[in-house]
A = this chain, B = another copy of it.
């Protein structure tokens, strides 16, 4: 999988790291659309060097977000371990959006059309898998409105992304109202 061509030269490895750090920070602070020039500047590296290491924005995304998205598995597993199906589902939503609220980049990744990064896509699919299971369990237990589906959750996620952007202090309240409407 990892095509180990010649290892990077020392200075190159250092620059690559600085770029990754800068990109991670800026994505989290300002979202996925931060200008690449800003990333280069924060990394104290020229724009040309940036393009050498990461020819496209998606190359950054592919390097940065798989780790971030691992958190999805963590909250997914936690929810699956919760015995009460309703608690599991509602808690999962809470955890999910707390995650999004902490990281504008993550918020963007989950809310918009997926970036062209296979690892990111598969992490999202895994997340959707967890969510699907939680929904099914809640449906089986009869605690969730009977017509709820994963597609509704996708819609909710985009809506929540917007609420988080506009009024970071109010997403929890908004979510709790919506969730109230979900009970069977």
A residues whose Cβ falls under 8 Å from a Cβ of B: 145, 151-152, 155-156, 158-163, 166-167, 170, 173-174, 176-182
Contact = CB atoms under 8 A, between A and B. Distances in A.
A48 to B, nearest CB: 31
Given A161-B162, A162-B161, A162-B162, A155 B170 contact: yes
Contact of A159 (B145, B174, B179, B180): B174
Contacts of A156: 174
Contact of A177 (B152, B158, B161, B162): B152
- Name, among A158, A163, A176, the residue most crowded by chain B CB atoms within 10 Å (CB to CB): A158
A148 to B, nearest CB: 8
What's the number of copies of this chain in the assembled complex?
A: 2
A156 to B, nearest CB: 7
A174 B152 contact: yes
B181 A152 contact: no
Given A155-B166, A155-B167, A180-B182, 20 more contacts: A145-B180, A152-B173, A152-B177, A155-B170, A155-B173, A155-B174, A156-B174, A158-B167, A159-B160, A159-B162, A159-B163, A162-B162, A176-B181, A177-B178, A177-B181, A177-B182, A178-B181, A179-B181, A181-B181, A181-B182
Contacts of A180: 145, 180-182
Top 4 closest pairs, chain A to chain B, by CB: A181-B181, A180-B181, A162-B162, A159-B159
